[in-house]
Amino acid sequence: MKKFKISIFSILMVLAFFTSCTNEEVIVDPQQDTEESESIITTLSRLNEQFDENGNVDETENPAGNVVFDFCFDFVYPINLSFNTGTTVTANSLDELIDIYNASTENLYVNGIAFPFQVETYNENSNALEIETINEEDEFLSLLEDCGFEDEADDCFCPEVYDPVCINVTDLDGELFTISYPNACYATCDGFTEDDFSEECEQDYESGAGECFEFVYPISIILDEGDPVIVNSREELFNATYGAYHIDLALPLDIITGDDDTEVTINSYEELEAIIEDCFGDDNFGAIDCSIEDITNTLVNCFWQIDFVDDDQYLYNLNSDGTYQVQSGDSLLTYGTWSIIAGNDSFYLTLNANTSEYSDEWVVTLCDENLEMQSLVSPQAELYSIDCYDNNLDCSIGDITNTLADYCWSIDFIDNSEFIYNLNSDGTYQVQDIGGNSGGIILTTGVWSVATGNDTFFIILSAELTEYNDQWLVTECNTDLGYAYLEMQSLVNPQAYIYYVDCNDDGNDDNDYDCSSEEGVSNILTECPWIIDYTDFNEFIYFFNIDGTYEVQSDNNILTTGSWEFEVTNNAYTISLNAEASEYNDTWVVYDCNEQIGLTLGSIDYPQAEIYSVDCD
């Protein structure tokens, strides 16, 4: 006979051999005196979080659909409890325990339990359920500590993607039963690893984006070889199976198919299996529909940040040669090698760091227009891409080389260090310190070259002093202005900011850059055209005149004209832009004014847009 297990997100069916389990032999003597217990108060409070306001199992909080794995343990019933008034009560099941808690008030609540009592727990070393006897409050407290109830953060960031994994566990009678999770992320949050996943899960479980069918309630189910239980709704079904390990359906029963709401009577498990196969079709639902090449290209085209619940952040830079670096701020923490393999209808990245604490394994949870991954080592961390670059750059090496040699390049670090790179056309360069304490001296010299790879360009900087070696990635190259406008990202220091400056500026204030007055800031604003790039890739050029007028152009066409003026708001300069065509009205804020490099501007109306100057005299 085949067995069916109901799981979350959709009605999941598992086909397995019929087995049984009972714990009647471990019932605690109900005639016990109760003792006050802070642990029972904590337990009931935390257990209640697994249920909704109506006392039903909350599917979103219970990915395994079983109290031992979703909560931590289950009581062996009955248990004797006491209220703060001294009145005692017996809970004969999990449902009764939740009813007792929900009936509590500020003046009447459970604050005691009778020792000893027993609980069902999962032993990860033996991969089996076991009975543990709790004899006193200290042992109860130790149990809760093992559960991690005192941890400040216990949420996992898992995608709502159904790509199930299954875990085979041994029950109290030595028989196997199966726990299923919607995807690998939820399983790793419960402490399982890829080695624990059952190879037969793909064959046993089927699901789709929506439910294939619905039961016509009431239906009858058999839990752990007990008597049939009638359930009248989906909520009652989850409640009834939450503490069970083996679940059987009593046949016949009626279902409503999802396609045309047809009611069908199911007389055997073979008929139900045929309905499932007909509904879902192929066996690859939930599989990641990408190639290793697709994923690899995305991996090396982006930086990957992982945020931990303790607020630590690391930045991973994966290179196409199979190496990677891990940074925190501007500090290089370690480096290592990475590889990608296919498995369980997904892909797994293995990251082997020279410093083992930064080794990791990532699983691909989504691959369509975006790539989403989850750390299996730290499943509570959030992993996401930043600073991805467009791999369709409309520039040649000659365009890039000319622009690199025509300007000097400043790199600003988050610790306020700032270096100027002067790249010469003969392939040499000098590094000058202008943000530190060395008075602007030449720090080192070296050679540079431009290389191609992954549909973009890399500037290789090899210095005589190796600490100034770097590699810059070209993230944008635009020749619409008659020259190659470049944006670059340091691969060695990805959080640093690179921008061009005038090589002839010696820092002696013999230019018009004066940040001490409105007139000085106006001179900087009118010296250059200003480009504003929007997130939808629209781009406009603003030309400011000293008489307070301006023009807005796109593709050499004047779109509108208007007037501009400075205003002081919250001790900062803002630039009010009043256009004849009102859709071009805007307000820019001056974030920074540097007498060497000019203005840093941002749009108040369009804060995600980028503003920068070009063709400065």
Domain that holds residue 335: 292-386
Q: Give a yes or no: residue 512 inside a domain.
A: no
Same domain, 523 and 492: no
Residue 453 shares a structural domain with residue 525: no
Q: For residue 248, is it within any domain?
A: no
- Inside any domain, residue 451: yes
Lowest mean pLDDT among 227-231, 401-405, 479-483: 479-483
Cα→Cα distances 455→243, 301, 393, Å: 55, 10, 7
356 phi, psi to nearest 5 deg: -60, -25
509, part of any domain: no
Q: Does residue 104 lie in a domain region?
A: yes
Q: Quick one: tokens of 359? A: 């080794």
What is the average per-residue pLDDT within 250-270? Answer: 79
Report if residue 238 sits inside a domain. no
From 386, 416, 445, the end of a domain falls on 386
> What CATH number does residue 426 fall under?
2.40.128
Confidence of residue 440 (pLDDT cuts 50, 70, 90): low
Residue 160 has pLDDT above 90, yes or no: no
Same domain, 351 and 475: no
Provide the CATH number for the domain around residue 374.
2.40.128.640
Given this model, what pLDDT does residue 580 score?
Answer: 92
Q: Which band of pLDDT confidence, cut at 50, 70 and 90, is reported for residue 74? A: very high
Residue 22 has pLDDT above 60, yes or no: no
Mean pLDDT across 371-385: 82
Q: Are residues 181 and 322 in the same domain?
A: no
Closest alpha carbon to 373 in 575, 225, 517, 185: 185
Kindly state whether residues 459 and 488 are assigned to the same domain.
Answer: yes
Q: Is residue 409 part of a domain?
A: yes
First to last CA, the chain: 84
Shared domain check, 524 and 490: no
**H-type alpha helices, 28-73:** 38-48, 67-70
Asked whether residue 364 falls in the same domain as residue 418, the answer is no
Does residue 546 register a pLDDT over 90?
no
Average pLDDT over residues 435-450: 73
- Given 152, 185, 207, the domain boundary residue is 207
Give the mean pLDDT of 374-401. 75
Residues 166, 53 share a domain = yes
CB 489 within 8 A of CB 471: no
Which positions ≥6 away from 1 have C-beta within 8 Å?
Answer: 17, 18, 248, 269
| pLDDT interval class at 110 (50, 70, 90) | very high
Residues 43 and 163 in one domain: yes
Q: What is the domain count for the chain?
A: 4
Residues 203 and 339 in one domain: no
> Which of 175, 207, 239 is at the close of a domain?
207
| Burial of 307 (C-beta count, 10 Å sphere; 0-12/13-18/19+) | middle
Specify whether 94 is located in the same domain as 191: yes
**Model confidence pLDDT, tens digit, residues 564-614:** 988 876 556 788 899 998 888 898 888 777 766 678 888 888 877 888 887
Q: Is residue 181 part of a domain?
A: yes
Residue 270: name the closest of 244, 247, 252 by CA.
Answer: 252
On whether both 407 and 550 belong to a single domain, the answer is no
User: 467-522 pLDDT, tens per residue?
Assistant: 888 888 888 887 766 677 788 888 888 778 888 776 654 444 444 456 767 777 88
